[in-house]
Amino acid sequence: MTSTPKKGTLHRLEPRVYQYTFGPDEPVLRIRSGDSITASTVDAGGFDCCGNPLAEHQKQKSKVTTFQEVNPLVGPIWIEEAQPGDLLKISIEKILLNREYAYSSLLPHFGSLTGEYTGRDLLFNEPLPEVKYQWELDLGSQMGTLKLSKSKLEKIQIPLHPFIG
């Protein structure tokens, strides 16, 4: 027999501080099973919807270590009924993009075949130089465009499929 999920409260989470660890920090929100959350967040580099970097007071701090400030996290969130050992099901219903551009990049010495790790013998050439690409995003049509000035293609367009990570 299946149970009908109960409809809960909708919470709006506007983070004041972004975390860089999964740790024992105090919850920023307490919810009940069946509740929903709408949250705003920043990109992997810590830039908001207007392209502004996080202010220092918005970044997790530690007295004993320095964090690598990438992939800022929203939370933690406390679920009132949850107990140690419980299996939680969390559904991401929608991810909405909040600006009309995005970046992708090629970073030397980043990835599994960089020469610094096991697999060095798999390298066929020196690392490629760093390159940063700025994509134009059409939020209405959900299409991304990358202009390629040094390519015969001139540009590429792809459908947008927002995801976490």
Domain locations in the chain as residue ranges: 1-93, 101-159
Higher pLDDT: 74 or 165? It is 74
What tokens were used for 148? 């390629």
User: What confidence score (pLDDT) does residue 6 get?
Assistant: 61
Pairing of strands 101-106, 36-39: unpaired
Task: Please list, in sequence order, all residues whose beta carbon lies within 8 angstroms of the beta carbon of residue 154, skipping any fewer than 6 positions away.
Answer: 147, 148
Whether the CB-CB separation of 98 and 49 falls below 8 Å is answered with yes
Higher pLDDT: 5 or 80? It is 80
Across-strand partners of 155?
147
Dist. CA 10–CA 21, nearest whole Å: 26
User: What confidence score (pLDDT) does residue 113 get?
Assistant: 57
Give 36's pLDDT tier (boundaries 50, 70, 90).
Answer: very high
| Residue 52 per-residue DSSP state | P
Q: Model-level pTM?
A: 0.78
Average pLDDT of the segment spanning 62-68: 92
Q: Three-state SS for 120?
A: helix
